[in-house]
Structure 1
Amino acid sequence: MDTALPDPAPLAARRAPLPAAGTTVYRAIHTTETGGVYALDVAGDAGILNLYAPLDRAAEHALAGACAHAAGLAGVYVKRRPPEARHLANVARAELSPPDPIWGDARPEVTALEAGVPFLIRPGADLSMGLFTDARPARAWVRAHAPARVLNTFAYTCAFGLSAALGGAGTVKNVDLSRKVLAWGQQNYALSGVGAPDTDFLYGDVFGWLTRLQRRGDAFDLVILDPPGFARGERGVWRAERDYGGLMASAAAVTARGGRVLALLNHAGVDAAAFERACRTGLAQAGRAGRLTEQLAPGEDYPRATHLKVHVWSLD
């Protein structure tokens, strides 16, 4: 391994309390601990090495091996994350996220635990492995505060929806533009023995569904917003720094009086103050009064991280 890179062994050792407490999917090493060069995610005995600076293949392999030894992993996959990765065409994804490990044994699927809850992780599947571990405290909040009716937008593999169901919510609707990830979410439900009809997994554009639900007069006690920072879709280009206010307005329109909106944004370029202003603008646009009642941070495996903003808004 390049001796200029931070040694993963002492960094990974700091996470020992997490698996001991029933969490086996987490960030073992964060970029704030490596000068922004790399991060290591762990799911069971599989590792996902996230590279934010270019390394040659020999250096990648050596770093992956060092991470495997530091965290006791059977195999390590790589995700190459240049700044322009989110703009690259899908044809580049095989280079950015190879489906096979660069070190050790393959683990196409791993069932890992978060606070005792099982999730299906696919370490070689695209740039995301199936669970965003920085949102673990937000999922714990949802499970602890789950009301009767929950709408989980940009659901991905439905981790927030499952958390609400495990917390006792009577109705949970998960909305995503990908049938593939919704099916993955249904597998996560099944791992916890949670039954849900297919009608709780809504395929399609989130904004379209928000409009449809509003027209139907549906109202939810909790609406969860976890959009990407950037996306291309039928309605054009989505940019969180420009468009989050409109999303908040649409969410407020389907939030019951006395209900709450859990608003998340993973975008290092938008600070907490700007995010709060965007949310307030959206509430005003919807004609709703609301208060910011709580702010959550990523877990202890993301030291000094500022990229993720999580706000709880209570609406009158």
Structure 2
Amino acid sequence: MNELKVTINDSHIKKIKSGSPLLEKEAIQNIKPLKEEGMLLSLVDTRGNFIGRGYYGRQNKGYGWILTRSEHEAIDSMFFLGRIHQAINHRNSYFESNDTTAFRVFNGEGDGVGGLTIDYYHGYYVMTWYSEGVYRFRDWVIEALQSAPNFKGLYEKKRFNKKGTYVEDDDFVTGDRGEFPLLVLENGIQFAVYLNDGPMVGVFLDQKEVRKKIRDSYAEGKTVLNTFSYTGAFSVAAALGGATKTTSVDLANRSLPKTIEQFSVNGIDYEAHDIVVMDVFKYFNYAKRKDLSFDIVILDPPSFARSKKHTFSAQKDYTSLLQEAIQITEDNGVIVASTNCSTFGMKKFKGFIDQAFKKEGYRYKIEESYSLPPDFKTTKAFPEGNYLKVVFVRKLI
């Protein structure tokens, strides 16, 4: 592949040389030659010295990613074979596990190729492409994955249309087509997943350690409210951990049959639990009217969401969301506060928690905190990549 020489502005040299893999628009001295996504770029400073090699691919984070700092390393099929198999070796403990058969195999810039993630579901691999630029390397990635462990089949998700959403298409790529639902294990919990049904498959793999902690250490004998519940994965974990009752609340109509399915594949009587299709903010008002309270409240909202009456932004509204949760949490109860918003860090998130408890007039204790699990590999030079923040907060009497 031909390479375009791109000059990096002096103001961004230090950041890039310190290891940041993101190629920001402001870093590029002249963006006019950047015409076709997938172009390979040779990055140089204003004196012409080599800095790195990457590609042009626009997504919400920037204009591309740096792939290598070595002037002698070519970006070709062997490059992707090496990066992907290095990533697979990093996950050996997951491949050898008897109680976990779903995990992340390749985590974008953390594994050396920003814009691409690869997940594993009991023999099936799923590639997710976040820009047209990285999609140009598709054939090389497919070639590398066909020699991956336990390979049965390959699916893909394209998240790079002009609105930044999912590109509808047949997600199957090669190998054997899966039969769905496909049952996978996560720390012994079964989940039904669908690799051929839109951008989300049925479970978010980055929360595996949090679900395990709720099941093993918090749920027994407790009542649990799971808000923004999606397919009820947190509720299933709590029920398996001995919760007396779980309540799952989500606005999407699909959440009802999907949550029933997740309870059922784990042998749990879903009729012993509440599954509510409702706007979470309406449910808070309902719970207060009915004088309902819970021992554990799980808050895992999307970074941004809009319903008919509410617009939620984690950056602006998480404090008020926490205030709602505090009001229906039992004394000495626990709020599991979670966000995947990458625009702020753990320190600011804990600041939201502090503000909410002060406004409601309660003391609190942070029991423990979580970020991404080991299979979601990140790099310290790009802290935005370590997006997950989960804090277990106890409401003190």
- Using structure 2 for the length normalisation, give the TM-score: 0.73
Range moving further from structure 2, 298-307 or 235-244 = 298-307
1:62 is matched with 140
User: 1:162 maps to which residue?
Assistant: 236
Residue 23 (structure 1) shift: 0.5
Equivalent position SS for 2:254? helix
CA separation of 1:99 and 1:199: change in aligned 2, threshold 3 A: farther
My pick for the range that moved more, 219-228 or 107-116, is 107-116
In the TM superposition, 1:129-208 aligns within 5 A as 129-144=201-216, 145-147=218-220, 148-197=222-271, 200-208=274-282
2:179 pairs with 1:105: no
Higher RCO, 1 vs 2 (CA within 8 Å, ≥6 residues apart): 1
Superposed displacement of residue 129, structure 1: 1.2
Q: In structure 2, do the counterparts of structure 1 residues 16 and 123 end up closer, same or farther at CA, with 3 Å as the change threshold? A: same
Q: 1:49 to 1:16 in 2, by over 3 A?
A: same
Deviation at 1:215, TM superposition (A): 1.5
CA displacement, residues 60-106 of structure 1 (integer Å, 9 cap, x when unaligned): 243134224224322222222349755x4xxxx3x2x5343123332
Q: Could you tell me which residue of structure 2 aligns to residue 7 of structure 1?
A: 83
Structure 1 counterpart of 2:197: 125
Cα pair 1:250 1:286 within 8 Å, conserved: no
TM-score after normalising by structure 1:
0.91
**1:252 to 2:323 alignment:** no
> What amino acid maps onto 2:91 in structure 1?
R
Q: 2:355 aligns with which of 281, 288, 293?
A: 281
Whole-Å separation in 2 of the counterparts to 1:159 and 1:261: 17
Partner of 1:272: 346
Once residues 293 and 83 of structure 1 are traced to their aligned partners in structure 2, the CA distance between those partners, rounded to angstroms, is: 41
Please give the alpha-carbon distance, in whole angstroms, between the structure 2 residues aligned to 1:307 and 1:203.
28
Unpaired segments of 5 or more residues in structure 2? 1-75, 379-384
Q: Distance in 2 between matches of 1:134 and 1:109?
A: 20
Instruction: State how far apart, in whole Å, the 2-side matches of 1:68 and 1:128 are.
Output: 23
Instruction: State how far apart, in whole Å, the 2-side matches of 1:121 and 1:170 are.
Output: 26
Deviates more, 1:213-222 or 1:302-311: 302-311
Contact 1:45–1:75 under 8 Å retained in 2: yes
Alpha-carbon spacing, 1:243–1:46, altered in 2? closer, same or farther (3 Å): same
Shift of 1:195: 0.5
Residue in structure 1 matching 2:127, options 38, 46, 49: 49
In 2: Cα distance, 1:38 partner to 1:57 partner: 8
Cα offset, 1:19, TM superposition: 3.6
Distance 1:223 1:131, change over 3 A: same
Residues 116, 134 of structure 2: 8 Å contact kept: no
Deviates more, 1:33-42 or 1:101-110: 101-110
Q: Which residue of 2 aligns with 1:115?
A: 187
SS in 2 for 1:9: helix
Check whether the contact 2:246–2:273 (CA below 8 A) recurs between aligned residues.
no
Q: How does 1:3-42 map to 2 (within 5 A)?
A: 3-5=78-80, 7-21=83-97, 22-31=99-108, 32-42=110-120
- CA offset at residue 171 of structure 1? 0.9
Long gaps (5+) in structure 1: none
Question: CA 1:83 to 1:257, structure 2 compared with 1: closer, same or farther past 3 Å?
Answer: farther
Paired residues in the alignment total: 309
Summarize the Cα distance change of 1:193–1:167 in structure 2 as closer, same or farther, 3 Å threshold. Answer: same
Alpha carbons of structure 1 residues 58 and 84: separation in structure 2 relative to 1, 3 Å:
closer
Q: Distance in 1 between matches of 2:252 and 2:293?
A: 24
Give the distance between the partners of 1:188 and 1:85, measured in 2 at CA: 31
Question: 2:373 corresponds to which residue?
Answer: 299
| Distance apart, 1:240 and its partner CA | 0.6
Shift of 1:199: 5.9
State the secondary structure of the residue aligned to 2:248. strand
What is the Cα deviation at residue 251 of structure 1?
0.6
Partners of 1:275 and 1:289 in 2: CA distance? 17
Change (3 A) 1:199 1:179: farther
C-alpha RMSD over aligned residues: 2.1
> What residue identity is the alignment partner of 1:226?
D
Bigger shift: residues 134-143 or 30-39: 30-39
Structure 1 range deviating more: 98-107 or 243-252: 98-107
Pair 1:146–1:13, CA change in 2 (3 A): same
> Are 1:314 and 2:388 an aligned pair?
no
Bigger Rg, which one: 2
